[in-house]
Structure 1
Amino acid sequence: MSQVFDEYQWRYPYKQRSRDAQRTCKYQNHDQNSDQYLIMKKHKSMFVKQQHEQEHQSNQNQLDQLSLEKKNSSNILSLPKIVEEKEFECGCKPSIIPFEKEDSWQILLIGKLNDPEVFPVFSQVIRQFKNKKCSFYVEQHSLAKFKDQLIQDKLDEFIDSLVEFNSANHEQIIDIIITLGGDGTILYTMSHFQHRTSPPIIAIEKGTLGFMCMYSIQNIEKDFEKIQQNVKANKNIMVERKMRINVKILDENGNISKQNGVEKKYHALNEIVIDRGQNASCLKMEIFLNNESLTKTLGDGLIFSTPTGSTAYSLSAGGPIIQNEVRSISLVPICPFSLSFRPIVLPECSELKVKLTDDNRGQGKVSGDGQKVFDLLAGEVVHIESSDLDVYVVRETFKANNVHEWMVKLKKMLNWNSNFSK
């Protein structure tokens, strides 16, 4: 009887047992049922008490052992090291990536287009690396202006180190990216790195919005000195890892569709947008989550955003602000016909599919970060999931907490609640 009773006790939740007891109480002997319930409660109390005593004794033994090690060891940093390994493994701490190329770096320089200040700053950057055997890659439209600036700054010896960048030939060999601009410059740069995890990006703020930029143009000389010293001493770089999402447009046979000979696929850092383009009619779409129909919608489109992109187009469309370490995909409708369709935040393991319904009028557009735009035709399926090609943004080593930096940026860039705090 005791064995059967114990199995019943731990197999079902307490509330379920209470309801069963109340129901049986009306049809069976009340006293016998009450006695059984009291015995169950007593057994559970004894078990929980014994379990707590064992846990307390185990914790006390661990504390005694740590105290003994601290007393016998001459190295006072041994205890914090143990705590750091066990307690700080979450994404709130910046990632450390190895960087062992000390003497020869392949550096990509990309600046904000049509900004005359770009070339003097990059000339200063090239001077910073004069003790290293570096190759500097610049885009074709900037190559001539870079050479003129080096001549003007009397850095003629570096002209031979300039290489015209071509993503098809140089994507895999770049070691470091230096961008001068805002978030748009970073998104443009990532359009060149669609087949690999991005090299570390040193993002210098010089744009309208610099939410992802970690360095200021005013302190760039001192900051580059710190970066070089850190690499030379530790052979690593502290970075913030940002997730991307991958979109593929599949035809009726399940193959990746092509447009002008180019496959319709893209790895986006901010968002994937499905909209009606120049089509006058709203889009009628069906959304699938993990191969199950989630809903059908009518509206101007959908935004699938990363945490990085949650403060961009998604935010303007009414989406939530998501902290960078909350690796997720948000689904935000654009002007939906039904006001009951609200933004959804999904885990990064989600697989999303979208297709136009049979009664949809016209075609749609699919864009990634505003850099690539594809036509969405009838019968095609948009497949969206998290990408395995992350983006690494270099951080200042003395600012070790991602959440703190994110809060500072949020309040600064969005002017958050400023009217109430004055």
Structure 2
Amino acid sequence: LHEEDLNKLKDQYHRRAHSLYGVSPNCKFGPKGSLLDNSGTVLTIPDPGSQKLNWHKAPLTVLVVKKIYDESVLQPFKNLISWLIEVRKMIVYVESNVLDDGILADDTMFKKYRGRLQTFKQGQDDLTDKIDFIICLGGDGTLLHASTLFQQSCPPVMAFHQGSLGFLTPFTFDNFETQVSQVLDGNASLLLRYRLKCVICKEDSDLGRVSRIKHIDSKSQCAKSHILVLNEVVIDRGSSSFICNIDLYVEGRLVTSVQGDGLIISTPTGSTAYAVAAGASMIHPNVPAIMITPICPHSLSFRPIVVPAGVEIKVMLSPDARNSAMVSFDGRNRQEIHQGESVRITTAQFPLPAVCAKDQIEDWFDRLGECLHWNVRKTQKQFVSSDAYSDTSLVSTSSHSQNGTSSEKTSETDGHL
């Protein structure tokens, strides 16, 4: 058998015999009840455990996103672009600030490839149909930045850990040639990380109309009526000394008024970021859900909740709020919202396809242990059985007896000296 055939056999052998979403529910309830058959609402969701990367054509273009202001990333970056250009014969894109880096400008190795690198203007050039594959060199923030560059369909993303925490970056750079080659050859599992679609709206209560406010992205020179976030949307009180007073709507229904420092609306990916620091539970990225977490609420019973991924959430200032609020998207594009303005949030149609180092389950639990030290503590010692304790006592007594005799002899000898 060829090596490719052996890999397929191994893949089939290790493939799970069950879906990560669980079994399909039995829709017959007792002898006479059943679920109403409505073919118009049937939704087929692929099993996350079987999501594999497939290239319709061989990938030709790759965007390399590196962490800025970090000299430790420079050598891996140079090695990577050299290998991609010389060995894999790929067209390499980088951000324009990479070409303006003073340290790289004087580097002999980088000068050799500088003229062969392609670049783009963020917020102006559409990368949707230009980039086949993304490689990130940095930390979690580098991956979040790469997500902002693709506000619609996003190419597969392979993230190498070159930062601080690295919860979202499962790959190490030691044998990058082998790892990248496997992905380019189509031998990789994908984790589809849900993103949130966010829109800032102006609501006219008198006329009952809702209009969108443009320019969510301050860096973009083109009007952008919405933005996709990978981690979370945060609405907080900003620099105001007053508590934040905002209303929370789910599917058009006012569910509660939030009085505290603010509110976090996060994806399952974002549940291990700001949300977990605010006391939320951690959700596996494959779970289709939205997490709603209060920030320091002035209520002992306001706990984080999880809602279905498809609901629309609306957050707006309460009519009796004493001050405005601030909203930020993945920690960026921070801006003020006033009375009559709202932030509408729902799960986006375009997830971020993250390449797995092992698989969707093992990667996540590895990061929980290595990065967050989840449930790490000293193991409690077991009880010693009564029989073993008796045996130990006998041995200990015998030992003490012998030691005592020896000590006496030693004392006698010492006395004669």
TM-score (norm 2): 0.73
2:286 corresponds to: 325
Query: In structure 1, which of residues 128, 138, 159 is the aligned counterpart of residue 114 of structure 2?
Result: 159
Please give the alpha-carbon distance, in whole angstroms, between the structure 2 residues aligned to 1:262 and 1:247. 14
Q: Deviations over 1:315-364 (max 9, x none)?
A: 00111111111111010001111121110011101111111111101211
Unaligned runs of 5+ in 2: 1-7, 22-46, 204-208, 381-417
Please give the alpha-carbon distance, in whole angstroms, between the structure 1 residues aligned to 2:322 and 2:214. 22
Cα distance, 1:166 vs. partner?
2.1
Please give the alpha-carbon distance, in whole angstroms, between the structure 2 residues aligned to 1:255 and 1:227. 43
2:323 corresponds to: 362
Please give the alpha-carbon distance, in whole angstroms, between the structure 1 residues aligned to 2:294 and 2:223. 28
1:268-287 equivalences under 5 Å are 268-287=229-248
Unaligned runs of 5+ in 1: 1-76
Same amino acid, percent of matched pairs: 31
1:43 corresponds to: none
Against the structure 1 CA distance between its residues 155 and 93, is the aligned structure 2 distance closer, same or farther, given a 3 Å change threshold?
A: farther
Please give the alpha-carbon distance, in whole angstroms, between the structure 2 residues aligned to 1:384 and 1:181. 28
Cα distance, 1:98 vs. partner?
2.3
Bigger shift: residues 325-334 or 264-273: 264-273
Please give the alpha-carbon distance, in whole angstroms, between the structure 2 residues aligned to 1:339 and 1:138. 49
SS at match of 2:71: coil
C-alpha RMSD of the superposition = 2.8
Please give the alpha-carbon distance, in whole angstroms, between the structure 2 residues aligned to 1:89 and 1:402. 10
SS at match of 2:377: helix
SS at match of 1:407: helix
Cα distance, 1:262 vs. partner?
4.7
2:413 corresponds to: none
- The amino acid across from 2:245 in the alignment is K
Against the structure 1 CA distance between its residues 89 and 310, is the aligned structure 2 distance closer, same or farther, given a 3 Å change threshold?
A: closer
Query: In structure 1, which of residues 216, 226, 242 is the aligned counterpart of residue 182 of structure 2?
Result: 226
Query: In structure 2, which of residues 345, 360, 370 is the aligned counterpart of residue 412 of structure 1?
Result: 370
Between structures 1 and 2, the one with greater helix share = 1
Please give the alpha-carbon distance, in whole angstroms, between the structure 1 residues aligned to 2:237 and 2:153. 31
SS at match of 2:371: helix
SS at match of 1:208: coil
- The amino acid across from 2:66 in the alignment is G
- The amino acid across from 2:363 in the alignment is E
Aligned residues: 334
**Is residue 157 of structure 2 the alignment partner of residue 201 of structure 1?**
yes
1:182 corresponds to: 139
SS at match of 1:392: strand
- 8 Å contact from structure 1 (residues 134, 161) kept in 2: no
1:290 corresponds to: 251
1:17 corresponds to: none
1:244 corresponds to: 195
Please give the alpha-carbon distance, in whole angstroms, between the structure 2 residues aligned to 1:415 and 1:322. 16
- 8 Å contact from structure 1 (residues 306, 329) kept in 2: yes
Cα distance, 1:377 vs. partner?
1.1
Q: Deviations over 1:372-397 (max 9, x none)?
A: 2222110012111111110011123x
Q: Deviations over 1:244-301 (max 9, x none)?
A: 0111111023111135785453211000111111222112111111111211121111
Please give the alpha-carbon distance, in whole angstroms, between the structure 2 residues aligned to 1:365 and 1:94. 40
1:15-414 equivalences under 5 Å are 87-88=18-19, 90=21, 91-93=47-49, 95-102=51-58, 105-129=60-84, 130-145=86-101, 148=104, 152-153=108-109, 156=112, 158-167=113-122, 168-172=124-128, 173-194=130-151, 196-228=152-184, 231=185, 235=186, 237-252=188-203, 253-258=209-214, 262-263=223-224, 265-396=226-357, 399=358, 401-414=359-372
- The amino acid across from 1:330 in the alignment is M
Please give the alpha-carbon distance, in whole angstroms, between the structure 2 residues aligned to 1:219 and 1:97. 20
Please give the alpha-carbon distance, in whole angstroms, between the structure 1 residues aligned to 2:370 and 2:169. 13
